[in-house]
Structure 1
């Protein structure tokens, strides 16, 4: 990375962190570019060198947060993708505590950003964030279960939107309930037989 790239990256990182700090105090719709610039210690022209709109900054910030999250367990993610075609069908369940607990902890620790994303799904393109999950994980699983290709988008919508609905409700409660409780609820909704097996 050369000096100009490093400077560009550092400025972008400062604006990402400024947005996160502001989201801890107020909702996205009440945060003007001027306030982001003041928090980041840059001028408006610098902001517009990097982004066209606040929505662009939000997308970059969410991507940064997603990358931080994914860096927690990159090996497991690679193993899941590599072994998708050879695993037993009964093992093709990714809604387990192994995956849910870090995911939910990360949401809890970054709840203002996630809440902003849920409240502004259009401008923040929230739907695109689940594209990789659907393409690389859910679709191959459904194919292994012989679900017709025309039916798969409906199955995936039900699966993803159901988990998102639980997370949204948890955010409405300011993530007051324990991560383990929410993970258990998601597991029992997605895998109802799992609960019965443990009794």
Structure 2
């Protein structure tokens, strides 16, 4: 099978699984149902994946790699991920949060399916990657005088942001990304933790 054809087949299977996951849980989806939705046959499915969970993991891995790449390039060269800028309303905001909310909207169905699904480890993986990046950055700058305070401060900020993202998704993405960035930035800034200790 050519790479282009293989890629198209995987896209069909991915799209079909995401569509089905918007309606039911992963454990309720059968290969037969999936291939019918994708307009493919079972043999084609098994050329690419061992089972439904393998396909689900592949979707999660692909999105995680996109997010990981994005996290690594999200902050300016010499700024932390907590880089602050002034908005048009003269209020400070965290650009990285705007990028997070926009990314979720751009990948709406995939993000919603993965972030709502108990089988998904995506948020834990993203959290781990972001946390690792922040700690590495702080170590390289020699700004860690109290490692325990740094660890708990990062946990506090990141878990709060994750909670807001989950609530936003559970509420059907009821606010636009710019508004969510403002709300979350305001909350982070009100509870400002100096991560440069």
Q: Structure 2-normalised TM-score?
A: 0.70
Matched, 1:113 2:110: yes
The structure in which a higher percent of residues are helix is 1
Deviations 1:71-95 (A, max 9, x none): 8x79x91764x53xxx5xxx66147
The match for 2:90 is none
1:171 aligns with 2:169: yes
CA RMSD of aligned residues (A): 3.4
Q: Report how far residue 192 of structure 1 moved.
A: 1.5
Match of 1:93 among 82, 91, 104: 82
Write out per-residue CA displacement over residues 13-39 of structure 1, whole angstroms, 9 at most, x where no aligned residue.
Answer: 221122223334444443322222112
Any conservation in 2 of the 1:14–1:40 contact (CA below 8 Å)?
A: yes
Query: After alignment, is 106-115 or 158-167 more displaced?
Result: 106-115
- Measured in 2, the distance between the counterparts of 1:53 and 1:147 equals 48
User: Helix, strand or coil: the match of 1:174?
Assistant: coil
Residue of 185, 188, 198 corresponding to 2:186: 188
Unaligned runs of 5+ in 1: 195-199
- Please report the TM-score for the alignment, with normalisation by the length of structure 1: 0.69
Q: Is the 8 A contact 2:18 2:113 kept in 1?
A: no
Query: Is the CA contact (8 Å cut-off) linking 2:13 and 2:35 kept in structure 1?
Result: yes
Q: What corresponds to 1:52 in structure 2?
A: 50
Match in the other structure for 1:9: 7
Q: What is the CA–CA distance in structure 2 between the aligned matches of 1:56 and 1:5, rounded to whole Å?
A: 19
Distance 1:53 1:191, change over 3 A: farther
Task: Extract structure 1 runs of 4+ deviating beyond 4 A.
Answer: 65-71, 94-97, 147-153
CA contact (8 A) 1:163 1:186 kept: yes
